[in-house]
Chains A and B, each alone.
Chain A
Amino acid sequence: SAVISQKPSRDICQRGTSLTIQCQVDSQVTMMFWYRQQPGQSLTLIATANQGSEATYESGFVIDKFPISRPNLTFSTLTVSNMSPEDSSIYLCSVDPGGYGGYTFGSGTRLTVV
């Protein structure tokens, strides 16, 4: 199964600033997903990122706030822009390894906005 390296693992940021999270996959994958997990809650899908096309955002998430890049089949970034304390969450990237198995997740980025 794919292995994902996600960076940074955690960060504390000032409100109004931006943070870019990176995910590097050790194999080529078509679809990558970005999730947000607010404290004590379940995972909410932010967007689906396919190489060579614009990311598809879920209801409630917009590109200006969460711009995503997917320059190739092994790498993606999510930027959390103009942060507020409400953005404090764990952000996770994941990939669909194909077939009918479970997603593989990165180790997560624990973001605290102060």
Chain B
Amino acid sequence: AQKITQTQPGMFVQEKEAVTLDCTYDTSDPSYGLFWYKQPSSGEMIFLIYQGSYDQQNATEGRYSLNFQKARKSANLVISASQLGDSAMYFCAMREHNTNAGKSTFGDGTTLTVKP
């Protein structure tokens, strides 16, 4: 079974609007971390935000916030006030701390296009 599922291959958003990118995950490890990365067309991977499985509050980093719903096993990324430079591929990833030798598993990604 796929551990990380991103069901939106592509998303469009108007500049200055907010957008939510979906991510669901599957694990039996009680201790894990969830991550979002941005990959512009240049190919580099940029770490955006982290949520730990034991964190009580949703993570926020500037315009990025993570809507963590543990019971539903979802970790959606919310980007507020979209900018043209936000156009990129976005990957959700998970690292299980007690299993899988600490390796990260990545979803298939969502391509976000911000329209002017």
Residues of A within 8 A of B (CB): 31, 33, 37, 41-43, 45, 48, 56, 90, 92, 94, 96, 100-108, 110
CB distance from B83 to the nearest CB of A (A): 21
Across the interface, name the chain B residue whose C-beta is closest to A94: B45
B50-A101 in contact (CB<8A): yes
B104-A105 in contact (CB<8A): no
- Report if A92-B45 is in contact (Cβ < 8 Å); known contacts: A41-B108, A42-B109, A100-B33: yes
Question: What's the A-B contact tally at a CB cutoff of 8 Å?
Answer: 55
- Report if A42-B45 is in contact (Cβ < 8 Å); known contacts: A48-B101, A100-B33: no
Interface residues on B, range: 20 to 34
CB distance from B44 to the nearest CB of A (A): 5
B97 CB contacts on chain A under 8 angstroms: 100
Residues of B within 8 A of A (CB): 33, 35, 37, 42-50, 52, 91, 93, 97, 101-104, 106-109
| Chain A, interface SS category | strand
Cα(A85)–Cα(B106), bound, Å = 24
A31 CB contacts on chain B under 8 angstroms: 102
3 closest A-B pairs by beta carbon, nearest first, are A102-B47, A105-B45, A108-B43
B42 CB contacts on chain A under 8 angstroms: 107-108
B103 CB contacts on chain A under 8 angstroms: 33, 45, 48
